[in-house]
Amino acid sequence: RRRHMVKLAAALPGPREELPGIGLAHKFIGDTEAIMHQLQHFSYECMENDGVLRGWLGNTLFFVVVNPGDLEMVLKTCLEKDDLHRFIRTVIGNGGIFAPVSIWRRRRKILVPAFSPKVVENFVHVFAEQSDKLVKQLSRCSGKGKFQAWPFLSTYTLDSVCETAIGVKINAQENPDSPFLRAMCDILNMICKRIFHLWLQPDWLFKILPMYKKHQECIHTMHNFTDRVIESKREELKREKESKPEVDHEFDLGAYKKQTFLDLLIHLSGGERGYSNVELREEVLTLTIAGTDTSAVAIGFTLQLLGKYPEIQDKVYQELCEVFEDDRMLVKEDLMKLKYLERVVKESLRLFPPVPLIIRKVLEDITLPSGRVLPAGSGVACSIWGVHRDPRYWGPDAERFDPDRFLPERFNLEHACSYMPFSNGPRNCIGYQYALMSIKTALSTILRKYRVIMDTEESPYPYIRVKIDIMMKAVDGYELRLERRERDHHI
Ligand code: HEM
């Protein structure tokens, strides 16, 4: 099988920097900014090689793919996640996102109705309340020069996810030192180090390092917190059932409109005979991890882009003035009206996708629509960063920040996979509508109150230094300045 793999690999172009024996491993020893830079570099090299590039990492064979036709096939047929994801399983076990396909199928089926638009739009009031808190927190920094927006944005998304997923107000925005938040940040950082630093990968070695103790403490904190919430929810449901035995407990989405994901998962999986407490914890933690940093990153990049291009920010503000005639809280009907803001967010997700690449495993040889063959046993890195910036599909000004490319009359992509910040196919992001609502609510609330100021970008091609930290994040922690809008109480 290995000989077969080597033979097929040799038929495809590889990067110039490959060394015998170690392949490209020497290219990934730098910090997370250097690693992201390499990944971008391979994506561009991949574009030059007709959309597919191979590379060895030690003994493991990987392919980078940016051809949208090929990507569609990979995302449809290769559903198994790469082994690198095993490090995150120490926290979320078999939670949907990285679970083996055999477990994932059932869990996805249960999760789909919980994310139906009818359920998700009922969370908008949570996003609006949390955005209001965010704006209050930001007032401490407005008019006081540059500051890092990241701690404000990530606590906004964590508070929103915790309230909608488990119904608990953890108040991370007011208490950024909360043990759960600290544990989540620390564990994600350690997992990222393990993914990219080969020497931290063997379990036996990792267990004797000082980092291991902290790793276990973080897991304990996160599991303990979630377990307590689940136990109290079980008791609440039991009490409810005892007090109203005559009520029909059959599941009805309409009746559960105001419920959290935890309520929905208990009911959709079959109530007392459904998910065990461990399965519930795995699913809840998956949603927390999948939904927190991703949306915060998207808000951060969009704010920085608007700071760099004030004329685009003015247009967003204009639209906000038209939709909000006074200083009221956002309601779900407003979101549909914010069409320009939506184009801005989509364009920001195109140039700065929070998940810049997805890695899947090839279990059987596959022949791609472009004719290339990926051998069984290899890994495929689907480069979202690459496909979003390929001039072949986005034109010669592919790297220009131009929200109007999403105008219905201009947006006519040949391939669905040319734009896929939320991935594509059966394992795509289940939370994309939730994410867009949360992002638009936060941005519209911030931008009604404040003007974002950055050094304006002379070039139409925005440059932001980025690193890979599970998600792709700005190196500077989303540094910007805020200035209060003069007519803040009456827009
Ligand atoms: C801007 C924000 C977000 C981005 C860019 C994003 C991106 C992604 C991507 C690219 C994947 C697919 C990975 C793959 O194909 O292998 C994914 C999966 C997933 N996302 Fe998101 N996501 C975002 C927000 C959210 C939110 C808010 C939630 C939940 C509250 C969420 C829950 C999930 C889950 C559960 C999966 C796993 C789906 C499965 O394997 O069946 N995401 N996300």
For 230-275, give the DSSP string: HHHHHHHHHHHHHH-TTS-----GGGGTT--HHHHHHHHTTGGGS-
pLDDT recorded at residue 254: 47
Neighbours of 460 (CB within 10 A): 11
CA–CA gap between residue 282 and residue 91 (Å, rounded): 8
Percent of the chain with pLDDT over 70: 96
The minimum-distance atom of ligand 1 relative to the CA of 438 is 27
CA–centroid distance, 434 to ligand 1, in Å, is 10
Cβ 383 under 6 angstroms from ligand 1: no
pLDDT per residue as tens digits for the range 161-212 = 999 998 888 889 998 888 888 899 899 888 888 887 778 889 999 999 999 9
Q: What is the complex's ipTM, to 2 decimals?
A: 0.98
Residue 488 has pLDDT above 60, yes or no: no
CA–CA gap between residue 293 and residue 439 (Å, rounded): 12
Instruction: Determine phi and psi for 243, rounding to 5 degrees.
Output: -80, -25
Are 304 and 478 in contact by the 8 Å Cβ rule? The answer is yes
CA–centroid distance, 430 to ligand 1, in Å, is 6
Cβ 84 under 6 angstroms from ligand 1: no
CA–centroid distance, 453 to ligand 1, in Å, is 30
Residue 138 has pLDDT above 90, yes or no: yes
Cβ 428 under 6 angstroms from ligand 1: yes
CA–centroid distance, 286 to ligand 1, in Å, is 10
Average pLDDT over residues 343-362: 96
pLDDT per residue as tens digits for the range 202-222 = 999 999 999 999 999 999 999
478 versus 241: the higher-pLDDT residue is: 478
CA–centroid distance, 207 to ligand 1, in Å, is 30
Cβ 289 under 6 angstroms from ligand 1: no
Mutate to test the pocket of ligand 1, among 73, 383, 429 (most ligand atoms within 8 A of CB): 429
CA–centroid distance, 159 to ligand 1, in Å, is 18
Cβ 355 under 6 angstroms from ligand 1: yes
Q: Which pLDDT band, with edges at 50, 70 and 90, does 491 fall under?
A: very low
- Protein residue with least CA distance to atom 3, ligand 1: 294
CA–CA gap between residue 63 and residue 43 (Å, rounded): 10
**Which residue has 């267990």 as its token pair?**
207
Residue 489 has pLDDT above 50, yes or no: no
The minimum-distance atom of ligand 1 relative to the CA of 424 is 15
Cβ 97 under 6 angstroms from ligand 1: yes
Nearest Cα residue to 304 out of 151, 91, 465: 465
Strands (E), 330-465: 357-361, 366-367, 373-374, 379-383, 450-453
CA–centroid distance, 323 to ligand 1, in Å, is 30
CA–centroid distance, 246 to ligand 1, in Å, is 39
pLDDT recorded at residue 245: 57
Q: Which pLDDT band, with edges at 50, 70 and 90, does 253 fall under?
A: very low
Q: Which pLDDT band, with edges at 50, 70 and 90, does 258 fall under?
A: low
- Protein residue with least CA distance to atom 6, ligand 1: 422
- Protein residue with least CA distance to atom 41, ligand 1: 427
Nearest Cα residue to 18 out of 66, 50, 67, 61: 61
pLDDT recorded at residue 395: 93
pLDDT recorded at residue 251: 46
Cβ 42 under 6 angstroms from ligand 1: no
Cβ 362 under 6 angstroms from ligand 1: no
21 versus 269: the higher-pLDDT residue is: 269
Average pLDDT over residues 419-431: 96
* CB proximity list for 273: less than 8 A, separation 6 or greater: none
Average pLDDT over residues 266-293: 91
| Mean pLDDT, rounded, of the chain | 89
Residue 21 has pLDDT above 80, yes or no: no
The minimum-distance atom of ligand 1 relative to the CA of 434 is 27
Are 448 and 326 in contact by the 8 Å Cβ rule? The answer is no
CA–CA gap between residue 63 and residue 373 (Å, rounded): 11
pLDDT per residue as tens digits for the range 285-318 = 999 989 999 999 999 999 999 999 999 999 999 9
Mutate to test the pocket of ligand 1, among 104, 106, 294 (most ligand atoms within 8 A of CB): 294
CA–centroid distance, 423 to ligand 1, in Å, is 8
Average pLDDT over residues 107-121: 92
Pick from 44-48, 250-254, 274-278: least confident:
250-254
For 340, the enclosing helix (H) or strand (E) is helix 339-351
pLDDT recorded at residue 246: 53
pLDDT recorded at residue 490: 45
pLDDT recorded at residue 414: 86
